[in-house]
Amino acid sequence: MSTPLLQVRDLKVHFQPPRRGFGKTPPPIRAVDGVSFEVEAGRTLGLVGESGCGKSTTARAILNLISHADRGGEVLLDGVRVDQLSESDMRLHRSKAQMVFQDPFASLNPRMTVGKIIREPIRNFDLGLTQRDEQLEVIRLMELVGINPRYMNRYPHEFSGGQRQRIGIARALAVQPKLIVCDEAVSALDVSIQAQVINLLMDLQQKLGVAYVFISHDLAVVRHIADRVGVMYLGRIVELADSDKLYKTPRHPYTKALLSAAPVPDPEQNVSQNRVKLEGEVPSPDIEYAGCPFADRCPEVLGHCRSTPPTLSSEAHRVSCLLYEDA
């Protein structure tokens, strides 16, 4: 059996808030608190969950874009443990993993033409191309993502949001990465444009064999693109399974609640009886819970859920819930 392209083992990212005045040192913010998953080459893992659950912090930790934080666990990319690499070694390794950011305008330099934006990583990583070959590569990348190469001398503000995101994808592809992390890459786009960008990403995966970690709060989008889906709650993965299995037979009460809250396209369909209502607010990530962090909001809570911490099972359809540990 081949080794997965990306291996994340018990990843933890805790931020220490500053102390105010002479008061006590506040407890750390447990943004990511023991996340583990794998991504095979040429496959897509989707990460979903409410805002603040740790999805974006996980993404940045994978690419070593986190600073001023206490980290734990391991991140292995293509067999190399990247969480312990020095800056110089990480730069050499960074061409294997790139990122597409949420805001397609803020992530592009407004003072550079799109041709220069796409060419920049080629030069930064010294791919050994002549100036003419660099120009031809920029043309190829623009055509690959559906942007007319004759527009390479235009600036980002002259493009629509969807076109800007295509430019961001072309820039990420410029160094021929094996993994692309998409952090809410379509959430800022109109629904029709979202579909176009998702289809583009899927086409590129078939052509190039690139793997994705696709982060989104939109369950419908993730279902369309992901092979496997991880559901995050308060810095932890509570359910991880193949996409079809997770959507058809969700096991964790939080997953069931997320799926039941998703909009239904058929207005005649009565879903009110299947709606799972969550009580209370999302707990604070600076609290260390003795039991399950979801217990106070869970409609299926057991008597010992607040005192016994659940663990993520090792089966193919993984779930972190005492309902199944007691079964």
> Are 202 and 170 contacting, i.e. CB atoms less than 8 angstroms apart?
no
Q: Is the pLDDT of residue 228 over 70?
A: yes
Residue 72 pairs in a beta bridge with: 12
What's the mean pLDDT in 146-158? 94
pLDDT digits (tens, 9 = 90+) for 309-318: 999 988 889 9
Mean pLDDT of the residues in the chain: 88
Q: How confident is the model over 86-92, as a mean pLDDT? A: 79
In angstroms, rounded to a whole number, what is the distance separating the alpha carbons of residues 219 and 249?
Answer: 15
45-85 per-position pLDDT tens digit: 999 998 889 999 999 999 988 888 889 999 999 888 988 88
Q: What is the pLDDT of residue 268?
A: 56
DSSP string, 62-119: HTT---SSEEEEEEEETTEEGGG--HHHHHHHGGGEEEE-S-TTTTS-TTS-HHHHHH
What distance, in Å, lies between the first and last C-alpha atoms of the chain?
31
Instruction: Give me the pLDDT at residue 69, please.
Output: 85
DSSP symbol at 249:
S
pTM of the model: 0.91
- Can you give the pLDDT at residue 269? 55
Other Cβ atoms within 10 Å of 236 Cβ, number: 24
CA dist 236 → 60, 225, 240, 325 (Å) = 15, 22, 11, 17
In angstroms, the CA 45 to CA 29 distance is 25
User: Taking residues 233-245, what's their average pLDDT?
Assistant: 94
Quote the pLDDT of residue 327. 52
Distance of alpha carbon 88 from alpha carbon 96, whole angstroms: 15
Q: Is the pLDDT of residue 264 over 80?
A: no
Which tops the pLDDT comparison, 266 or 313?
313
Query: Which H or E element spans position 139?
Result: helix 131-144
The rounded percent of the chain whose pLDDT value lies above 70 is 95
Burial 18-36 (b: 16+ CB within 10 A, else e): eeeeeeeeeebbbbbbbbb
Give the pLDDT score at 141: 96
What is the C-alpha to C-alpha distance for residues 68 and 308, in angstroms, rounded to an integer?
Answer: 31
Can you tell me the distance from the alpha carbon of 313 to that of 310, in angstroms, rounded to the nearest whole number? 9
User: What is the pLDDT at residue 286?
Assistant: 87
Bigger pLDDT: 113 vs 83: 113
- Contact in structure between 210 and 178 (CB atoms under 8 Å): yes
Domains and CATH numbers, the chain: 6-18+26-105+178-325 (3.40.50.300)
Sign of CA pseudo-dihedral 257, 263, 266, 272:
positive
pLDDT of residue 277: 72
Give, to the nearest 10 degrees, the angle between helix 114-124 and helix 161-173: 20
Per-residue pLDDT tens over the stretch 166-188: 999 999 999 999 999 999 888 87
Average pLDDT score over residue span 104-109? 86
The helix/strand/coil state of 300 is: coil
- Nearest partner of 109 among 34, 168, 36, 33, judged by Cα: 168
What amino acid occupies position 26?
P
**Would you say residue 37 has pLDDT above 90?**
yes
Instruction: Tell me the pLDDT band of 86, cut-offs 50, 70 and 90.
Output: confident
Does the pLDDT at position 28 exceed 80?
yes
